[in-house]
Structures are given as C-alpha cells and as structure tokens.
Amino acid sequence: MIVKIFKTIGPRTYFTSIFLIVFAVLFSFVLENKGAFLLEQWPSILGNIILIVAFIAMLTFLEIQHKGRKLGGVHLIAYPTTFLFLPMVFELKTIPVLEAILLILGQDIFIKTLHSKNKEKGMLDLSLIISIIVQLNASFAIFYLLPLLIFFNRGIKSAKDLLALLLPVFIIPFTFNGLSVILPSETVALINPPIQVNPLKYHLLSSSDWVWLIALLLSVLVCALQLPRGHKKFSYPEYFSGFLYMTFWLIFSIVFGLLGLQIGVEFWLISFIPVAYFFGGFLEKIKSDSLRNILFTSVFLGIVLFKLFDHGIMSLELLFGNGENS
C-alpha cells in the first residue's frame, strides 16, 4: 500500500514522493500539450518539479522548528496529488512564486511571534514580509490582520512593539520607490501595480476549474470541522497557530481567485499550498491505514481518470467500443 510507505520518512519515502511529483508534472504537461514533443517544454517541466520540491522542503524544514510539529510523510504525497487537481500547470511567473514563498516564511514567523519571548523581532519580521508582498499586490494588505491579532492576543502595550509593527509599513514603500529609479522599466511595472478586480466568470469555467473550486470548498470544510475546538484538538499551541495561519491563507486565496486579483493566469497558484496542506492533514488524521490507502488511491486515480476524460484522451466509446462496430 502506497500510504504505508509514508508512515515513516526515509529514502524510500523521498524517492516515492519525487516519483509522484515527476509523474504529476509530466502527466499535466502531456494533457495540456496534447501529446506534443515534451523536450521543447523541459525548462517549464523542470521548473514545476523544482518548485513543488522547494515548497515541500521549505514547509518541512520550517515546521520542524516548532515544538510538537513535524510534517508527516503523508504530506509528501499530498502535494503532487493536489497538483493534479490544478486546472493548469504553473507558468513560473516571478511575482506569484515570490508571493507564495514569502507567505510560507510568514507562517513560520507568525508562529514564533505568537509563542516566543522575543516578540519585537517577530513582529518586525512579519510586518516586513507582509509589506514586501503588498508592494507586489496591494490586496495582500489584508494579511496585516495577522500581526494585529498577535498585538491584541498577547496584550502588547510597549511602544517598541507598535514601532516594530508600523516601521516596515512606511519604510518598505519608500524603499521600493527609491529602487524604481535604478531598476529596469519592466521590473518597475511589477512594483505596486494597481488592483484589478476581474471577478470569475462562472459560465466560462472549464470542468477542471470547477474541480479545483470543489477542492477549495472541501478544504474549507476541513477547517470548519477543526477550528471550533482548535486548542482541544491540537496537542501543541504552535500546531494550532500554524493551522490558523493556513486557514486565513486559504480563505484569502479563495476570495483572491474569485475576484481575479492576480495579474495574469496564475490566480490559482496562491491557493495550491493551503489546499495541499489541509489534504495532507486530513489524510494524517485518519487512523486506519486501510481506509487512508483506499481514500488516497480513490482520489489519485479519480483525478487521473477525470483529466483523461476531460481532455478527450479517454471516452466511454473507447472503453466499451463504438456501437456501430458491435
């Protein structure tokens, strides 16, 4: 059983995970390019593989820094499986990838600031990361609610803490404006672009888009079932804080996608990490290995078959034969 391989992390686990990542990326590229010569796409294929591996490596490394939390091996299969659900492969645009990386780092700092004594440094770092993202897309300003949550949750009254929160908010925009003088015009155009609201047109959505929307809603359901009794369900406060951050990220990513706040076609990229995170967490909560294996196998094969049918590579006529030939 494949899930059994991921009960403990070792060389076999990493090898299987990388195999699933390579399969998921190649499979998605084959479908998108209708079987065209894939060697011409090798930079994008390699880039997608490296990006998924980098996301998993970052999340795993940062999670083990916190008491009582270590991403289980099952998360290593959650990310390539979730990738299969995406309506399209990543185009590897710099801004969306940078936003995702900064948000991953933001989770680590959010947890540390909530539960460490050196709250001034954590507040400064978190506000700094959010301020940088806001310069790439102003809609991310909603993430300032997270340091404000820490501010009120810990009852911070020191002027140093308030200064740590507000300093990056004012300094970073001036810094980026100063850099715009020496940077190429193509780069300057990416800094603080105007917010463009392009609401999702449901009648134009593909079947793959609807499948991803369902995956988003199921992730919200997982959150809703666990958040009300959060501190009771999680053994360590740090674990719950990470869960809370990912919940905030998930809700934002849904609104972000529905309103079309991302420039370009990468508007679903921002929701990839929280969906994979909650899918892995859901699998991890299942106690029975048999049930977990059945669920994973059904989901994995189900999405593969759906994509084959959706792209016209498989059909009922091909499976059962054409009625005219009977």
Cα(146)–Cα(149) distance, integer angstroms: 5
User: CB of 177 within 8 A of CB of 137?
Assistant: no
Compute the average pLDDT of residues 70-76.
71
Q: Where do the structural domains in the chain lie, given as residue ranges? A: 2-314
Our measurement of the distance from residue 65's CA atom to the centroid of its chain's CA atoms, rounded to an integer in Å, reads 20
Q: In the prediction, which pLDDT does 129 show?
A: 94
86-120 burial code (b ≥16 CB/10 A, e <16): bbbbbebbebbbebbbbbbebbbbbbbbbbeeebb
Which whole number is the average pLDDT over 70-77?
Answer: 73
80 and 24 Cβ atoms separated by less than 8 Å: yes
pLDDT at 326: 42
Q: What is the model's pLDDT at position 294?
A: 87
Give the pLDDT of residue 239: 74
* Cα separations in angstroms, 189 against 118, 130, 135, 136, 192: 37, 19, 11, 10, 8
User: Looking at residues 264-270, what average pLDDT do you find?
Assistant: 66
Range with lowest mean pLDDT among 14-18, 72-76, 147-151: 72-76
Question: With 0-12 CB in 10 A as exposed, 13-18 as middle and 19+ as buried, what is 23?
Answer: middle
Q: What is the pLDDT of residue 115?
A: 79
- Kindly report, residue by residue over 209-222, the tens digit of the pLDDT: 899 999 999 999 98
Whether pLDDT at 4 is above 90: no
Is residue 296 within 8 A of residue 3, CB to CB? The reply is: yes
Give the Cα separation of 285 and 239 in Å (integer).
Answer: 14
Q: Does residue 69 have a pLDDT over 80?
A: no
272-303 per-position pLDDT tens digit: 999 999 998 888 888 887 888 888 889 999 99
Mean of the per-residue pLDDT values of the chain: 80
